[in-house]
Amino acid sequence: MQCRNCGLENPASAQWCDCGHVFATGNCDIALRLPERAGLWQHPVVIVLSALVLALLVFAPLYYIANSAPP
């Protein structure tokens, strides 16, 4: 069925739409809307941790090679 509020096509068994429109009552309930979340890779903690892991993967082998050379 198509939502009268936003026009999104929903399954026939749907009780509400992603926009919050409740099919049984015809009202729009903001509490039913899907949360808008930023992607995981946009989170600052994930960016910093990814940069640290990348730096470790690049510089650890170089450190190991430089310090394991025979005298």
pLDDT at residue 60, as a whole number = 92
pLDDT at residue 57, as a whole number = 96
For residues 58 and 62, give the distance between their C-alpha atoms in angstroms, rounded to a whole number.
7
10 Å CB burial of residue 34 (0-12, 13-18, 19+) is exposed
pLDDT at residue 70, as a whole number = 73
Mean pLDDT in consecutive groups of 10 residues from the start of the chain, 71 residues: 87 86 77 58 82 95 84 64
| Three-state DSSP state, 16 | strand
